[in-house]
Amino acid sequence: MLYYLFDFLHSKYNLPGSGVFQYISFRAALAIIFSLFFSLLLGKRIIRLLLKKQVGETIRDLGLEGQIEKQGTPTMGGLIILTAILISTLLFAKLYNVYVILMIAVTVWLGLIGFVDDYIKVFKKDKKGLAGKFKIAGQVILGLVVGATMYWNNAVVVREKLPKSEVKISSSTNIVADMNGQNILFSKESIKSTKTTIPFFKNNEFDYAYLLAWMGDGYKKWAWLVFIPIMILIVAAVSNGANITDGIDGLATGTSAIIGSTLVVLAYVSGNTVFANYLNIIYIPHLGELVVFMSAFVGACVGFLWFNSYPAQVFMGDTGSLALGGIIAVCAIAVRKELLIPILCGIFLIENLSVIIQVGYFKYSRRKYGEGRRIFKMSPLHHHYQKLGYHEAKIVNRFWIIGIFLAVLTIVTLKLR
DSSP string over 12-59: HH--TTGGGGG-HHHHHHHHHHHHHHHHHHHHHHHHHHHHHTT-BPPP
Closest CA to 335 of 153, 156, 125, 135: 156
Report which of residues 115 and 62 the model is more confident about: 115
Sign of CA dihedral 408, 412, 413, 414: positive
Report which of residues 398 and 6 the model is more confident about: 398
pLDDT at 189: 74
Q: What's the mean pLDDT when you consider all of the chain?
A: 87
Contact 109, 325 (CB under 8 A): no
User: Between 224-245 and 317-334, two packed helices, what is the crossing angle to 10 degrees?
Assistant: 140
Q: What pLDDT digit, counting tens, does each position of 36-77 carry?
A: 999 999 888 888 888 887 776 666 656 666 566 677 788 889
pLDDT band at 247 (very low <50, low <70, confident <90, very high): confident
* Pairing outcome for strands 167-170 and 175-178: antiparallel
Q: What pLDDT digit, counting tens, does each position of 131-189 carry?
A: 889 999 999 999 999 999 999 999 999 987 665 555 554 444 334 444 444 455 666 67
* Angle (nearest 5°) at CA 397 between 393 and 402: 150
Q: What pLDDT digit, counting tens, does each position of 299-309 carry?
A: 999 999 999 99
pLDDT at 217: 85
Contact 340, 324 (CB under 8 A): no
pLDDT at 325: 96
Helix (H) or strand (E) run with residue 394 in it: helix 392-412
Contact 151, 195 (CB under 8 A): no
Which residue type occupies 268? Y
Q: What pLDDT digit, counting tens, does each position of 345-359 carry?
A: 999 999 999 999 999
Residue 278 has pLDDT above 90, yes or no: no
pLDDT band at 19 (very low <50, low <70, confident <90, very high): confident
Whole-prediction pTM: 0.91
pLDDT at 344: 96
Contact 121, 127 (CB under 8 A): yes
pLDDT at 63: 62
- The single-letter DSSP state of residue 69 is G
pLDDT at 175: 40
Residue 416 has pLDDT above 90, yes or no: no
Rounded Cα gap, residues 74 and 70, in angstroms: 9
Q: What pLDDT digit, counting tens, does each position of 197-217 carry?
A: 888 776 778 899 999 988 888
Name residues whose C-beta falls within 8 Å of residue 254's C-beta, 6 or more positions apart in sequence.
Answer: 301, 305, 309, 396, 399, 400, 403
Sign of CA dihedral 396, 397, 402, 406: positive
pLDDT at 182: 46
| Average pLDDT, integer, range 106-128 | 90
pLDDT at 165: 52
Residue 69 burial (C-beta neighbours within 10 Å; 0-12, 13-18, 19+)? exposed
pLDDT at 173: 39
Whether cis (ω within 30° of 0) applies to the bond prior to 311 is: yes
Closest CA to 289 of 76, 11, 23: 23
pLDDT at 109: 97
Rounded Cα gap, residues 199 and 336, in angstroms: 12
pLDDT at 170: 46
Rounded Cα gap, residues 267 and 262, in angstroms: 9
pLDDT at 239: 96
Rounded Cα gap, residues 234 and 139, in angstroms: 10
Rounded Cα gap, residues 339 and 234, in angstroms: 9
pLDDT at 174: 39
Rounded Cα gap, residues 313 and 385, in angstroms: 23
Virtual CA dihedral for 317, 319, 320, 322, nearest 10 degrees?
A: 100
